[in-house]
Structure 1
Amino acid sequence: MKSHKLLTTAGIGALMFGMTSAAMADNWRYAHEEYEGDVQDVFAVAFKEYIEENSDHSVQIYRFGELGESDDIMEQTQNGILQFVNQSPGFTGSLIPEAQIFFVPYLLPTDEETVIEFFDKSKAINEMFPELYAEQGLELLQMYPEGEMVVTTDEPIDTVDDFENKKIRVMTNPLLSETYNAFGATPTPLPWGEVYGALQTGILDGQENPIFWIQSGGLYEVSPNLVFTGHGWFTTAMMANQDFFDGLSEEDQQLVRDASEAAYDHTIEHIQGLAEEALNKIKEDCDNCTYTRLDEAQMQSLRERAPQVEEAYVEMAGESGAELLEQFKADLEAVTSDEE
């Protein structure tokens, strides 16, 4: 397992040292939730390169653990210590309940090309979500997919009944807990830094993540049975502190928007074929891993439980969540209709 550098008083001191008004800062600070070379890091590096090639500004990237867990970097962004943050709706959902829509199972298709087209064209993604983030002092710059979700477990999963009472780690997100309750498992919220050890010691029976993260984080070493359920994609969002962004000149605001667009295009290209590459690395490295792809009948058994999660989502997210869900489905329908 990779070592995790935890947040320290000294680390925060270094971060704050010499810091002037965030709006005037030429060295912009950007934190994300993943390791070097992972998808969020690919996005961050592309963003940094565009900014530095097209301006006198510089961007300092902080990776997982360098400034704490996901909740820590969001708090630092809202407080203006960080200018940019990349955080998945799995953690943002407690702040923005509507963002939990990505955890309604079987809402998004698993076909990569369709998912990418949806993110490019969706009104829900590109028009409605920025307004919701702005209400929390955040300038939403990009939402993008990272990969299909895959479940790993301590024992092979042959049927959906094998999920019964399995302690599955979930992000600290109430709707994701509803999803695994619907699947018959026992959802267990846990910060990412504790997951490997909890799988290793049997505190957890399994977890879910995109395949590249399972490979990068070495999760297959302690949770070697991979189950492709087809229930969703991992999505993330890149945003700025709203006060910082509003304080930029029009030229710099456009620079940031252009950089995020360039990073999005680069990252979308990067994720194509990434899952297959990561899976092959796991197969090369793991002799005792198993791989189960649920057949259509088994997925249908889980899909039939999705409506209760939708109901829970609307209850949590309220009227705005219901409107977002309606638009989300309309956007998906438009994309899939175009392909027929």
Structure 2
Amino acid sequence: MKATKLVTSASVTALLFGLSAAAQADNWRYAHEEYEGDVQDVYAMAFKEYIEENSDHTVQVYRFGELGESDDILEQTQAGILQFVNQSPGFTGALIPEAQIFFVPYLLPTDEETVVEFFNTSEAINQTFPELYAEHGLELLKMYPEGEMVITLDEQVDSPEGLQGKNIRTMTNPLLAETYRAFGASPTPLPWGEVYGGLQTNILQGQENPIFWIESGGLYEVSPNLLFTGHGWFTTAMMANQDFFDGLGEEDQQLIRDASDAAYEHTIEHISGLAEESLAKIEEASDEVTVTRLNEEQMDAFRERAPQVEERFVEMTGERGEALLQQFKDDLAAVTDGNE
């Protein structure tokens, strides 16, 4: 009888422990802006894998369109419906004006190694931006690059004059619109869901995105002339609802930070060579595609228009934006000087 009681007591204790552990295991919801297998999805799945391998928590990932457009998933995260969201500064720029800095043309280099080192070491990225996002109830966990921006068009173009009169789709971001205005085009801000149809019906004559997205979204089918201007990289940010994050214990907070770091390293490895692979797929899929890579002289014709976008950025963001722009330049100088 005594032995039976001991066994029973042990079983009850184990059950109670199990219930306690189960009560602490949560299902966290995470939404991003891209399709299955795209860069944000690669990051999200690596984050999910790390969390689930190192805790009892689970992560449910929602891809583009499953919960609405980019603006929708950000609002859902701020409201606490989602715990995590991946969204580019192209859409958060209206909420956090300083995040538009990524759309100042020719600020970031296009060399992948330099870009990655900048994201790893930049004071602006790793110290200033978390403070800016926190002001809007968002815990910024990681910013990372996805790929060089490429313009697709209805015809081959190699100068700003060639963009005159063309409706170029931009994200709903005031500074990105200013960039294309400076380049000579007519910027047309639209949510992603309207882009393919707009290009197909010639309401739009062009758009910009990293090459992997042009391939996975089939944009080359309706906008087959690719223009590499070297004007910037697509950047994204992975965030948590701050109230949710602050309400976690230290162990779970560290788990999330570690998962964010692990997903970042995995994603940086993933994007290495991705642009070349995606372009090869596009060229194999369509014989109508043209590829124009500007030489330095042609690029200078676009680059000389960048200062007016910088000026507009400072007008939009004031002293804080001006200080951030200077910090960006200092951080980039530290990286480029070190690589000489």
Short-chain TM bin: over 0.9
Give the TM-score, by structure 1 length. 0.93
Structure 2 counterpart of 1:49: 49
1:84, 1:291 → 2: CA distance?
37
Q: Give 5+ residue unaligned stretches, structure 2.
A: 1-23
In 1, distance between residues paired with 2:230 and 2:102? 13
Q: 2:188 aligns to what SS in structure 1? A: strand
Contact persistence 2:158–2:227 (CA under 8 A): no
What's the C-alpha RMSD, in Å, of the aligned pairs? 1.0
2:259 matches 1:259: yes
Matched, 1:148 2:148: yes
Go from structure 1 to structure 2 and tell me whether the alpha carbon gap of 1:103 and 1:337 turns closer, same or farther (over 3 Å shift): same
1:189 is displaced (CA, Å) by 0.3
Check conservation: 2:159, 2:302, Cα contact below 8 A. Answer: no
What amino acid is aligned across from residue 241 of structure 1 in structure 2? N
Give 1:164 deviation, angstroms: 1.1
- Alpha-carbon shift at residue 336 of structure 1 (Å): 0.2
Greater CA drift, 159-168 or 241-250: 159-168
C-alpha displacement of 1:104 = 0.1
The offset of 1:158, in angstroms, is 3.4
Equivalent positions of 1:109-124 (< 5 A) are: 109-124=109-124
Check the 8 A contact 1:160/1:298 in 2, yes or no.
no
1:236-255 alignment runs, 5 A limit: 236-255=236-255
CA 1:339 to 1:291, structure 2 compared with 1: closer, same or farther past 3 Å? Answer: same
- Cα deviation digits, residues 38-71 of structure 1 (max 9, x gap): 0000000000000000000000000000000000
Report the equivalent of 1:76: 76
Q: What are structure 1's unaligned runs of at least 5 residues?
A: 1-23
2-structure distance, mates of 1:269, 1:158: 32
Letter in 2 for 1:248: L
Question: Which deviations, in whole Å up to 9, do the C-alpha atoms of 1:145-197 show, x marking residues without a partner?
Answer: 00000000001113332111111000000000000000000000000000000
Provide the C-alpha distance between the structure 2 equivalents of 1:25 and 1:313, rounded to a whole number of angstroms.
44
Equivalences for 1:149-228 in 2 at 5 Å? Answer: 149-228=149-228
Structure 1 partner of 2:20: none
Does structure 2 conserve the Cα–Cα contact (< 8 Å) formed by 1:28 and 1:60? yes
Aligned match of 2:93: 93
Partners of 1:60 and 1:316 lie apart in 2 by: 37
State the alpha-carbon separation in 2 of the partners of residues 150 and 167 from structure 1.
Answer: 16
Instruction: Map 1:253-332; keep pairs closer than 5 Å.
Output: 253-332=253-332
- SS of the aligned residue for 1:318 comes to helix
How many angstroms apart in 1 are the aligned matches of 2:89 and 2:318?
A: 17
Separation of aligned partners in 1, 2:157 and 2:315: 32
CA offset at residue 76 of structure 1? Answer: 0.2
Classify the secondary structure of the residue corresponding to 2:193.
helix
Could you say which residue in structure 1 is the equivalent of 2:17?
Answer: none
How far did residue 25 of structure 1 move? 7.0
Moved more, 312-321 or 199-208: 312-321
Q: Output the amino acid matched with 2:97.
A: P
Which protein shows a greater Rg?
A: 2
The code of the aligned residue for 1:237 comes to: A
